Each structure stands twice: as C-alpha cells, then as structure tokens.
Chains A and B, each alone.
Chain A
Amino acid sequence: MVKILHAKEVSFIWDILNEIPDPEIPVISLVELGVVRGVEWVDTQLQITITPTYSGCPAMRMMEMDIEQSLRKEGITDFKIAMQYHPAWTTDWMSEATKSKLKTYGIAPPQAHTKQRIGVLISDAPTEVACPQCNSVNTKLISEFGSTACKSLMKCNDCLEAFDYFKCI
C-alpha cells in the first residue's frame, strides 16, 4: 500500500517538474532538456536527481531554485536535490518532439551524435545544420560559441538570417 502511494506521488512530482521551463529556452521543460534524471524516495525523503548540462552553465543554479520553488508551491517541503555527473548529459536524450519545439522557437535542434563527428579538428565542426526559418542546409557556422553555453551561432546562406544552433554534445 505504502509503495503504491509512493509511486503515485513520484508521477505527480514528475508532472510538476515537467511544467518548469528552462530559464533560457522557455519552450522546453527541464524534463525535456534531460536535466532531471530521477525522482525517488530515499528512506523517508524525496530525492530529485539532476545533472548539469555544461560544467559552467550559469542557469544550473537557477534551475535548482526553480525546482525548489515549484515543489514548495505544491506544499512539498521535505526533499533534497542531488547532483549526478554520470552518465554525462547529452543532447541525444532530447526527444524528436522536444527538438521540433526548439525548431519552432527558432533554434536549430542538435543533430544526432551518429550524424556528427565529434573531434578536435576544424573539419569536425557542425555541418549540414538546417536553417530553422527556411529549412535550407546551405548554412555556415559563424562561431561555435553563442548566446548561451549550449548554442552556436550560425547563418543561413539562402534566407540570410542568423540563427542559434543547439550544440550537439
């Protein structure tokens, strides 16, 4: 009986977390981003496990605070947020639905790892990224570093719009 009650509560918590938007890309939630790795009971305390996207992402603190506030708003006060490093966060965790939300928002979604070589040579930089405005793959990389740690700055050679590309890591 106790276990069933807990299982219900856990799915309720997931629902709350799935409503929390990413502080920098508000069209996707922390769950869709892949930051929330687990919700479980450790003895009598609820534990939310999260993983960092980028080591130095300034939004991580914000995400923790948002989780804390959302849970407190629902009357949940006894919980712990734990940080987990393994397995390391990857953009491969994003679903196709999440990627299409990014695209609609104007951010080119990350390519799958299998489609992109990840290496240290210049030729390993992203190629064939489709422009989120006109879908042309005739695009070029302006800078591997963009408005946030997770994005590169690209430009479409056809519609001439500059756009953000969610880096594949």
Chain B
Amino acid sequence: MSLLSVRDLTVKFAMRDQTVTALNGISFDLAKGERLGIVGESGAGKSITGFSLMNLLSRPGYIDTGKILFEGEDVVQMNDKRLRNLRGNRMAMIFQDPMVTLNPVLTIGQQMIETLMAHRKLSHEEARQIAIVKLREVYIPSPEERLEQYPHELSGGMRQRIIIAIALLLDPQLIIADEPTTALDVTIQADIMELMLELCQSNQVGLILITHDLGVVSQMTERTLVMYAGRIIEAGRTREIINDPQHPYTQGLINALPQQTVPGQRLKQIPGNMPGLASIPEGCAFNPRCKYATDLCRSRIPEIVHYGEVEVACHEVQRLNSDEDRQEARA
C-alpha cells in the first residue's frame, strides 16, 4: 500500500463574484520513503497541492471533491482533532521563507518544544533534549544556546535548518517542502538541499518537494509531477522526465534551462504566460503557447495517457514524437 494516495483532488477558490478552480482532478501516489518532485511555474497550483495534502487551505480556498488517503485514512474527511494529530506529527511541512515562518516573539526552544508537547506526552525537559538532538542532526552548532534565541538573531540558512529540525521532531512519514530554498542565498541553497536529501534517506521519510527548479528535482527526487494551470500534465520517473520529456510544456521548461543553451545564445523561453485561474482557455490549457496545437487541442481537454516511460496529458504526443522539431529540440 502506498503511503499517500491522492485521487481526483479538486480545489476551488470562492472569489467575490465567481468561483475559480485552482486544482483540477489531481491524482498521484507516493510510496513509503519515496521522494517526489512537483514542478511548474508560479500559479500552476504546486503550493496549493502541498497545503491541500494537510487540509490546510485557508479561505477562500477549499477542497471541492477528491480523496487524500494518507496511510489509508482520508485527510479530507478528518475532523479537527484528527487533523491536528496528523499535522506536524505524521506529516510535516517546510515553508518557503524561513524569515517569516518562525514566530518572531517566541524562542526557538518554545517553538520546538510546543510542537513535541502537542503530540507526545513528554515533560518539558524531555522535549528539550529531543529538540537538542534534532538540532544536532541538522548540524546546528551549540544547540542549547540556540534554544534560548529568537528567530531574528539567526540567519536565514540557520532558520531553515531549524525548520527542517522541527519537521523531523516527531519522525513523520512524509515531509512536504514548499520551495524550501527559494528565499535563501544561492550559496546556502545547495547545502540545505543536500541536508534534506541526507535526512530523508537516512530516516526513510517520504518527501514531496515543490519547486520550479528542474535541476533541484533531478538531484533530489525519484519521481516528478509537472503541473500546469491546476492540472498534472506529465508524471513519471524523474530521470525519464528530465531526459525524455513528452509534453511540449515540459520540453519547453527543460529547453529553457541555461544548461541547454549555447553560451552567447538567448535562453529558449516558452512564449507567453501561464493563464490566470479565472481565464483558463478551453481545451488544453497550454494550447495558446504550444506550437503543435491543433483544433482538437483547442476544444477538448486531453486525458492522461501512458506514453513510453511516462504518463502525459497531450493529444499530440504521438505526432510530436515523430516530429522533426522534436529531434532538433532533443539535440
């Protein structure tokens, strides 16, 4: 049995005069200890997916339909008490910007100890000892002193390590990391990623890594989902998706990577922008930016189909594969 099984998840946002669909029929599975990447541009619905898994959407967003089975139990149906027991305990989350994630008026120690005591019957001192051990695991020097400090006394990288330590406090089955390094200095990003990979592997923790960085995904994850305008458009083993993308959008993303460009040449950007949630075009949402688009693409939403090693939602995937442009793009 997989650790997590998402079925047909649809999330909507009730706006002032209309309701927009932010996630549309998302389905995927995650095995125990597996590391999954979710990639896409901002606004594709990656973060919303992450928050939905914990049933932590705040108004005006809500889960409309679908199931999120975590260890066999549906997160969508859980009451508040069950949800509290889930959050931070069996499923932990790492937020995007460590500068605003920790509460500025509480010490690191208070914020770690409260998490432990919320889920386990521990004395304050026992909780403190666990916190110190976990801070050591994320290579924080002199953890005893850190516990007494306030967030503003620590650097961003240090704070993100502490947030990782908090995620590990209760030995969860799954960690959801929402762009955990975007807000950090480039020099620290690699360190944090390496640390997360190491900890996930050694502790057998499942990881869902939400990012727009394909490079990070290829280092960190075993499988990848590519999202566009609230839908999964391509899914499969990370290696396959990076090396042999099927969907024109994924191809575009990979071609846009600086590594794919000869120095001196312009980056191969995908033309146009992702549509806003309120104005998703008919048919395949990607069709206005896709050079392979046909009338079918403009009228019908493509089903997810098995193609080669991956699953992909594209009408034209077969034609595309034999297309010469594609050969060229691969080169």
Q: Do A and B bind each other?
A: no
Interface residues of chain B, those whose CB is within 8 Å of chain A, are none
